[in-house]
């Protein structure tokens, strides 16, 4: 219960996949929790890699996580789009050099939307589709 797609998330992921971009899910969730979520939603269908911060012994909020991630899965921080519901995680990504950071206006549907965020915020993933490469 409670595990479901955010509005337009599958459309967003389909677009990323069709654009031949690397699509990576990184989470602070325990690997067993990630496995349970992947059994409820077809996550593996949309993500090239799914990573739990527990695999690195450091949460996404720490520089250790980002150093470990880039060693195992090299990426260009200046060309990376990272979406997260935690501004603390986005702070850490920004300190590491990730250039394109987006947060969710309403991370918890049972709470009101956030009014003030320090990062660009979206309600639905369709809001950032126009900035991605076009599908041929």
pLDDT digits (tens, 9 = 90+) for 61-71: 999 999 999 99
User: Quick one: 29 exposed, middle or buried, by C-beta within 10 A (0-12, 13-18, 19+)?
Assistant: middle
pLDDT digits (tens, 9 = 90+) for 34-56: 999 998 998 999 999 999 999 99
| Sequence-separated (6 or more) residues with CB below 8 Å from residue 59 | 28, 53, 65
- Please give the domain boundaries of the chain with CATH numbers for all domains: 9-129 (3.40.50.1000)
Query: What is the pLDDT, as a whole number, of residue 96?
Result: 98
Query: What is the pLDDT, as a whole number, of residue 133?
Result: 53
Sign of CA dihedral 117, 47, 93, 98: negative
Under-70 pLDDT residues of the chain: 1, 131-136
Q: How far apart are CA 90 and CA 102, in angstroms?
A: 8
Q: How far apart are CA 29 and CA 132, in angstroms?
A: 27
* Alpha helix ranges (H) inside 19-73: 31-40, 43-46, 63-72
Query: What is the pLDDT, as a whole number, of residue 136?
Result: 40
């Amino acid at each position: 219960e409670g595990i479901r797609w955010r509005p337009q998330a599958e459309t967003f992921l389909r677009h990323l996949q069709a654009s031949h971009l690397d699509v990576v899910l990184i989470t602070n969730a325990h690997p067993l929790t990630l496995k349970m979520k992947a059994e409820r939603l077809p996550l593996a269908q949309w993500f090239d890699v799914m990573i739990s911060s527990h695999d690195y012994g450091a949460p996404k909020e720490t520089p250790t996580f980002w150093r470990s991630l880039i060693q195992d899965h090299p990426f260009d921080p200046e060309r990376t789009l990272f979406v997260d519901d935690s501004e603390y995680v986005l702070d850490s990504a920004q300190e590491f050099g990730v250039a394109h950071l987006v947060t969710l206006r309403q991370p918890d549907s049972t709470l009101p939307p956030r009014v003030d965020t320090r990062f660009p915020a979206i309600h639905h993933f369709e809001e950032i589709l126009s900035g991605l490469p076009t599908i041929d």
